[in-house]
Structure 1
């Protein structure tokens, strides 16, 4: 099993506590290794639920992607996916506006790359931005978060909205690389014993 596979398993294990996860999820023409979905409802009511004063719904849609390397074209494809597929299908459900009491939806892309992105791509990751309001923000807004992690170095690059994902990815990478390292050492020990 490769480091990328072990890392993705570790990451999904962590998301599993609060998110519904679908593996091999297809959106548009692309199939992603995994998709995670989260929904939260907060409401205030008087005496009984029928007398609701206010309600707030928050969502997060996380698409996990595996690539060999991240280029400017990769980032352009992600933005196209957000604007043409993720936002209209996942956020608005192909309606004009999101559902009633919608406050915020995060569209998160976690890209697992075999190699470090070049400096131009790193700069474009940091500047990556998508924020769309609905009905003058009375129906809330959607915002894109982007995080790219390199299996080559363990480094993580994010846009401003995605900066809080970095510790999670760094920790999952650390554990995953230890698992792969120990597994390889165990395999080497078995091979050495069988040769002796």
Structure 2
């Protein structure tokens, strides 16, 4: 499977719950796609119609493709999370997130046609990005990296991104089913 085919199938999975923007630009650089998810939960007291609590949850996913993901693309992904996604998308260029912010997941999915080198795989597995705002009174954010290689069909995830593995693997499984028909 080609990386562009994989990306389109992955985006079709996310389109049900995410707003997808294709292409997406960060500081003038074009990326194939960006996905945005927002959930607003509220608990109200019925007698007075007064709000008891509210929580806002977000997920931002940036998709990055290359023939071979190497340390330069991995450095770019980590920098995007720390220097763009967190300050611009979570903090909105402020000091803390908005009131009622509960959490934000900041994810970069790297899609590679060819397998990455061992150092890149190790770096993805070791990646960690966690921020708490006002002792979690304004929530937290977590950075996640997932690397998918087309040629060997391997998926490498940072510890925080492990929950994404089944979705990323499903696309390879669907291709196998289509070929067997």
Which range, TM-score by smaller chain?
over 0.9
TM-superposed CA distance for 1:73, in Å, is 2.5
Tell me the C-alpha RMSD between the 2 structures.
Answer: 1.7
Counterpart contact for 2:105–2:144, Cα < 8 Å: yes
Counterpart contact for 2:81–2:107, Cα < 8 Å: no
Residue 65 (str. 1) matches residue 53 (str. 2): no
CA distance in 1, matches of 2:176, 2:149: 12
Deviations 1:54-113, CA, capped at 9 Å, x for gaps: 111100000011012122222222111111111111111111111110010000111110
Counterpart contact for 1:27–1:86, Cα < 8 Å: no
Which segments of 5 or more consecutive residues in structure 1 lack a partner in the other structure? 183-196
- The TM-score, its normalising length taken from structure 1, stands at 0.86
SS in 2 for 1:114: strand
CA distance in 2, matches of 1:48, 1:158: 47
Counterpart contact for 1:44–1:54, Cα < 8 Å: yes
Structure 1 consecutive aligned stretches of length 4 or more whose deviation exceeds 6 Å: none
Change (3 A) 1:121 1:58: same
Q: Which residue of 2 aligns with 1:18?
A: 17
* Max Rg structure: 1
Counterpart contact for 1:3–1:176, Cα < 8 Å: no
- The TM-score, its normalising length taken from structure 2, stands at 0.92
Residue 149 (str. 1) matches residue 168 (str. 2): no
Q: Which residue of 2 aligns with 1:192?
A: none
SS in 2 for 1:95: coil
CA distance in 1, matches of 2:34, 2:75: 20
Which segments of 5 or more consecutive residues in structure 2 lack a partner in the other structure? none
